Amino acid sequence: MKLGAAVMLSLAAGRSFASMEERRLSFYNIHTGESLDTAYWANGAYIEESLAGIDHVLRDFRTNEIMAMDRRLLDLLHVIKTTLGGTLPFHVISGYRSPATNTHLAATTNGVARKSLHMKGQAADVFLPGNALSTLHKAALDLKRGGVGYYPHSNFVHVDVGRVRSWQG
């Protein structure tokens, strides 16, 4: 798998990924139509205003509840995006889910975990236009930084920052 040009230049210069000057993410929420493109980390620190924007776009659209998304998840998505390249945003199927939404989905939909990490802001269901779903899946698996679910019939990949595991839905 190819690393993005910014990561390659940074590593060639002897800097670790953690020391890069800026981390950016872009999202498109398929349910609300909202978009966001933001630097959420710069000069060694997370940017609170940007994190709040991400939390808003990744909120539970059914209840309008917002949860602070786990920064490790954001960093994981950033690494995936940097690895795959491209300019298009992650399309978000599900970010945060309130307990009420998760209970409802678990009762009515196959494959929804009753103790889903979505309820802790530690998971996202996404796809990345311009990349085959199988490529996104492989990139997430290769990182070995959490759970990866592959849902080709629903056109998304689940990524989370829980224990390393994988499944197909």
Domain boundaries, the chain: 20-168
C-alpha dihedral (5, 157, 94, 79), degrees to nearest 10: -20
* This prediction's pTM: 0.86
Residue 8: pLDDT band (50, 70, 90) is very low
Q: Please give the backbone phi and psi of residue 137, each rounded to the nearest 5 degrees, phi first.
A: -60, -50
pLDDT tens track for 114-126: 889 999 999 999 9
What does the alpha-carbon distance between residue 1 and residue 19 come to, in Å, rounded to a whole number?
A: 22
Contacts of 168 (CB under 8 A, 6+ apart): 149, 150, 151, 152
More confident residue, 19 or 163: 163
In the predicted model, what is the mean pLDDT of residues 136-153?
Answer: 97
pLDDT category at 18 given cuts 50, 70, 90 is low
* Cα(130)–Cα(76) distance, integer angstroms: 19
User: Which CATH class for the 20-168 domain?
Assistant: alpha beta
| Residue range 43-99, pLDDT digits in tens | 999 999 999 999 999 999 999 999 999 999 999 999 999 999 989 999 999 999 999
Question: In terms of C-beta density within 10 A (0-12 exposed, 13-18 middle, 19 or more buried), how is residue 115 classed?
Answer: exposed
